[in-house]
Amino acid sequence: MSIWEYANPVRFMRLTGKVLPWITALAIGCLAVGLIWGFFFTPEAENFGSTVKIIYIHVPAATLAINAWGVMFVASLIWLIRRHHVSALVAKATAPVGMTLTLIALITGAIWGEPMWGTYWEWDPRLTSFMVLFIFYLGYMALWEAIDEPDKAADLTSVLAMVGTVFAVISRYAVNFWNQGLHQGASLSLDKEEHVSDVYYQPLLLTMAGFFFLFMALVFLRTRTEIRARRIKALQLQEAN
């Protein structure tokens, strides 16, 4: 038994078909309990008011938005090295999910930023690097769309994922340098984890788990759809011959 057995599309479909309902149920359960607990049964923070409750969507979305790129990177690497089609399709399926999570993080951040900082947008290093990440996702998806041959598209997007990863990391630190250089010491501390007390922390863990399962469920679902689409295409080609 090795993990590579699930590189076989049939095995992958069988396994994910079995676990998908459970993961979906876990996602719904964790999110429902976590969000209701977080929104209605936690006290309002001293200097944040009720806006603190955006944390239950903002932080999990932001965390997973970055990790989704990591999933794409690993899946692309596996495709380049071992040429498992399922791996390439996982990378393809992850991109829109990651992009949406990035967008959610940006939008909830803006909604939170308005009452807290008095502005929807601030060219803070973290905000800026998320915008950059969003553009990287867009470029990746656009390249998938632009190439007709599935294998070639998987190859080229994998190269882009490699290059993009290197430059996303460099950009992250370059942006730090840029902002520090422009207004020193004026940057806001965004490390909320530091001053989050247990009352907020426990539901936050639950929503993070919920977002994680939701992410997993969506990626599995999208990958299964891609595999089925491939199969339909193959059948249509057979039919035509």
Piece of 61-69, 102-110, 142-150, 205-213 that binds another protein (CB under 8 A): 142-150
Give the C-alpha separation, 195 to 45, whole Å.
11
Residue 69 is a binding residue for another protein (CB under 8 A)? no
Binding mask 179-218 for another protein (x = CB under 8 A): --x-------------------------------------
Residue 142 is a binding residue for another protein (CB under 8 A)? yes
Residue 28 is a binding residue for another protein (CB under 8 A)? no
For 90-95, the CB contacts below 8 A with 24+ separation are: 90/219, 90/223, 91/154, 91/157, 91/158, 91/161, 92/144, 92/154, 92/157, 92/226, 93/219, 93/222, 93/223, 93/225, 93/226, 94/68, 94/219, 94/222, 95/68, 95/137, 95/140, 95/141, 95/144
Residue whose CB is less far from another protein, 142 or 229: 142
Piece of 93-101, 114-122, 150-158, 216-224 that binds another protein (CB under 8 A): 150-158
DSSP string computed for 49-97: BGGGGGHHHHHHHHHHHHHHHHHHHHHHHHHHHH--HHHHHHHHHHHHH
Piece of 35-43, 94-102, 129-137, 203-211 that binds another protein (CB under 8 A): 129-137
Residue 78 Cα to chain centre, angstroms: 19
Interacting positions 90-119 with another protein (CB under 8 A): none
- Kindly state the smallest distance separating residue 87's Cβ from another protein, in Å: 16
Binding site for another protein (CB under 8 A): 132, 135-136, 138-139, 142-143, 146-147, 152, 155-156, 159-160, 162-164, 166-167, 170-171, 174-175, 177-178, 181
